Amino acid sequence: MYRNILEAWWPIILAGIITATIIIVLARYIRRTVLFLLTTLISFVSFLMLLFSIFTVGRWEGLGIGMFSISILVGANVGAICSFFVKQKQ
């Protein structure tokens, strides 16, 4: 039973993990101000996508798009928090 639930949520979870991983890897190579600007931009686009899914798409399709946008939003913020622990390459 739980296997089927995990299969359904796997793409949504993976979107957040990939977003967080990309931000953590970028934290090593770019300046903090650029990283936080990028994280803010990704969060803003994800929030706009969430609003779009609620008010424009609606129904079950909007729910799927909304879950992806929430996952990306959480992944971007977790990546930004974890970037404090990454030492920059000099």
Q: Is the pLDDT of residue 89 over 70?
A: yes
Tens of pLDDT, residues 26-78: 988 988 889 899 999 999 999 999 999 988 887 888 888 899 999 999 999 99
Kindly list the domain boundaries of the chain, sorted by start residue.
10-84
pTM comes to: 0.84
Give the position of tokens 């992806």: 68
Q: Is the pLDDT of residue 7 over 90?
A: no
Between 13 and 90, where is the model more confident? 13
**How far apart, in whole angstroms, are the C-alpha atoms of residue 38 and residue 57?**
27
**Residues 71 and 16 sit within 8 Å (Cβ to Cβ):** yes
| Per-residue pLDDT, 11 | 85
Quick one: angle between helices 2-29 and 59-82, nearest 10?
A: 40
Residue 19 contacts by C-beta under 8 Å, 6 or more apart in sequence? 42, 71, 72, 75, 76, 79
Q: Which of 26, 73, 29 is nearest to 51 (CA)?
A: 73
| Per-residue pLDDT, 5 | 67
Q: Is the pLDDT of residue 2 over 70?
A: no
